[in-house]
Structure 1
Amino acid sequence: MQKLVDKRKRKAETTRRSYYDEDDESLDDFIVDDEGEEEEEDNYHRSNRSSGRRYQEEEEGYDRDEIWQMFNRGKRRADFVIEDDDDSDMEATGAELFREEQRSLRVAREEDEAEERELKRRAEEKKRRKLRQE
């Protein structure tokens, strides 16, 4: 029984190997010798170290500035830069906060009073209509 199991395992291993061996043979033609290209790229990169971003963009096949110009005609990139100088405008003293709270309170009271007057006016108008109908 053990012999039969061993025989089947060997057979399965040989079929697996042959399948992978066939793949390896077909890929021999696929391998490209690109050592010369790598040296050219290394030389280019060394000569353009200061423009590392440019090198990366050329390697990836796009130019950010050109794309920016295509989609944002008439606009500069600087127009979209968020400036954090507005932080000083957001600071308020305690007195300024108190004044703002008082102003908000006054406006809210005025709005409430106007709403009350409108509700009373509508209620009186409704009563007048009712009296006229009778």
Structure 2
Amino acid sequence: MNKVFEASTFDLKKADWKEMTDHEIKRLKEISREQGLNLETMTPEDFEGKMPFSSYHELFASVQNDSWDRLCGYLLGREYAEKDGVGYTMEQYRDDMDEYVKFWHETKENAEKINTYEYSEIMFYVNYYYNKVKEYVTENFFKEEK
């Protein structure tokens, strides 16, 4: 997958990377708030058993690092989806929220705070890209010989 990223041409800006990071941090802050915690002031004990970090700064650095790949995947996924005539809709968002509510036993209000439409749309395109890569690998590298 890194070869695909490296071979692709992007016009990436730090602001786009920051926005991608901010979406994930906002989501994690909502999850923490729901548990009665403030993500930015969590102690190593607060993180224990919840996330593999001992401080907010460690978490932020990891999210920021992951956000670069997520941004690249989002841009590629969006391009592939547009070429395929596919897009993320409000109807899909509602269905996603219904599934989230059922799986995590959340209220709809909390589900929508944790997974905003923007965040869900980003993840739709990231997953679209990863599914395209999976299809390509499956079709081209895992063929049975007859």
TM-score (normalised: structure 1): 0.27
Higher relative contact order (CA closer than 8 Å, sequence separation 6+): 2
User: Which one has a bigger Cα radius of gyration?
Assistant: 1
Q: Which has the higher helix share?
A: 1
